[in-house]
């Protein structure tokens, strides 16, 4: 039985391990931060479909109501009165912000205790335009039971690349958040031959693999689109009491040269790092957990001073041979602090 408490539930056991795996090795392809968008739904009478893609897990305000009923931080449809008397199921179509291969879902019913759906399924399609009645949908997650007020984590095995998904809930109800974990499928033909590409952009397929610390904010913020909106929209570590450094290892979108770098300390005014270094490596694997310090990292930018709330551009200062090719970079900050964004521009090899 689920307790009627305002404390958010936490994953345990296999579900927690699965969520960690998905969040560590993959990115949320449908996040509104990377351009994900809810396009249409069968019904969102009580709570708008746009809430599905918001950050966080959703909140609950005990005494907040609207003219349609209880305010809920999620997508909630009206009651269908069962499959025999109303809609067979409710659905929401979402355009992925990053087209790609899907490896798992987090279908979060946080605070939907007495109004969660009984089961869910997910379909996907490839479409250059907004899906319509002629769109062919393919089931990627068959109908599964979900728990109320819980993160429901599902791993799937699918090698196809998709542009849109359709989240279905049976027969009706509410879902707080929806995450689609996967890998970007980049069409390199969309780039002009020889142009500089941000190889550290999450939208181009880069991944933040491993960090020494992310006490205040997530490692993937470093490679998100745009400039940070505030200090929480960056990568920030807790205060060290030694010389440091803290570091972040990013897998580049493709093997490539590194010819221009931007280190942005936007909004970090009293907690920006004093200095930084950038190193690169050509590696056939992504597991740096136990061998990080012993690897032969090549210096790209030597130890360099940083300043508050500023974009730092490096071109001539880059020391590595421009003919060198890298698959991963390691950003080290001394002794600690916050970086809003890192851009690594180069040419694919």
Q: Does domain 194-346 have CATH number 3.30.70.1290?
A: no
Q: Is 222 helix (H, G, I), strand (E, B) or coil?
A: helix
- Structure confidence at residue 334 (pLDDT): 97
* C-alpha to C-alpha distance for 99 and 120, rounded to whole angstroms: 22
The whole-number mean pLDDT for each consecutive block of 10 residues of the chain, a chain of 349 residues, reads 45 87 91 96 96 94 91 94 72 98 98 96 96 96 97 95 98 97 93 93 94 92 95 95 94 95 97 97 84 78 97 76 82 97 95
Which residues, 6 or more positions from 117, have their beta carbon under 8 angstroms from its beta carbon?
A: 90, 109, 146, 169, 170, 171, 172, 173, 174, 175
Q: In 85-123, which positions are buried (b, 16+ CB within 10 angstroms) versus exposed (e)? A: eebebbbbbbbbbbbbbbbbbbbbbbbbbebbbeebbbb
**Token pair belonging to 18:** 């699965």
**Token pair belonging to 49:** 């479909």
Asked whether this chain's domains 13-184 and 194-346 adopt the same fold, the reply is: yes
- Structure confidence at residue 87 (pLDDT): 79
Is residue 228 within 8 Å of 236, Cβ to Cβ?
no
- Structure confidence at residue 8 (pLDDT): 53
- Structure confidence at residue 323 (pLDDT): 56
Q: CATH number of the domain at 13-184, please? A: 2.60.120.260
- CA-based nearest residue to 276, from 292, 263, 289: 263
Q: Is 245 helix (H, G, I), strand (E, B) or coil?
A: coil
Residue extents of the structural domains in the chain: 13-184, 194-346
DSSP-assigned beta bridge partners for residue 211 = 248
From the CB of residue 287, how many other CB atoms can be counted at a distance below 10 Å?
10
- CA-based nearest residue to 344, from 262, 221, 256, 226: 262
């Amino acid at each position: 039985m689920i307790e009627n408490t305002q404390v958010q539930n936490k994953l345990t056991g296999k579900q927690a391990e699965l969520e960690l795996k998905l969040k560590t090795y993959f990115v949320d392809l449908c996040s509104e931060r990377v351009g994900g968008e809810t396009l249409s739904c069968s019904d969102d009478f009580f709570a708008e479909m746009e809430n599905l893609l918001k950050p966080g897990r959703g909140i609950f305000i005990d005494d907040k109501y609207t003219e349609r009923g209880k305010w809920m931080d999620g997508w909630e449809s009206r009651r269908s009165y069962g499959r025999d008397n109303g809609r067979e199921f409710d659905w929401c179509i979402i355009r992925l912000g990053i087209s790609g291969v899907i490896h798992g879902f987090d279908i979060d019913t946080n605070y939907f205790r007495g109004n969660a759906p009984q089961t869910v399924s997910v379909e996907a399609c490839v479409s250059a335009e907004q899906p319509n009645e002629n769109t062919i949908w393919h089931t990627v997650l068959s109908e599964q039971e979900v728990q109320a007020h819980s993160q429901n984590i599902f791993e799937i095995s699918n090698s196809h690349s998709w542009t849109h998904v359709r989240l279905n809930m049976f027969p009706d109800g509410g879902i707080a958040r929806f995450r689609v974990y996967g890998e970007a499928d980049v069409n390199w033909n969309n780039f002009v031959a020889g142009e500089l590409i941000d190889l550290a952009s999450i939208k181009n397929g880069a991944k933040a693999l491993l960090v020494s610390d992310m006490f205040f904010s997530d490692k993937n913020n470093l490679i998100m689109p745009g400039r940070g909106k505030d200090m929480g929209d960056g990568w920030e570590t807790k205060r060290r009491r030694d010389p440091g450094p803290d570091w972040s290892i990013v897998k580049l979108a493709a093997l490539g040269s590194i010819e221009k770098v931007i280190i942005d300390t936007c909004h970090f005014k009293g907690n920006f790092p004093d200095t930084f270094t950038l190193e690169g490596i050509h590696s056939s694997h992504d597991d740096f957990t136990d061998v990080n310090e012993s690897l032969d990292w090549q210096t790209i930018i030597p130890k360099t001073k940083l300043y508050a709330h500023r974009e730092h551009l490096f071109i001539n200062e880059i020391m590595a041979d421009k003919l060198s090719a890298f698959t991963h970079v390691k950003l080290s900050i001394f002794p600690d602090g916050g970086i809003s964004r890192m851009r690594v521009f180069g040419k694919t090899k």
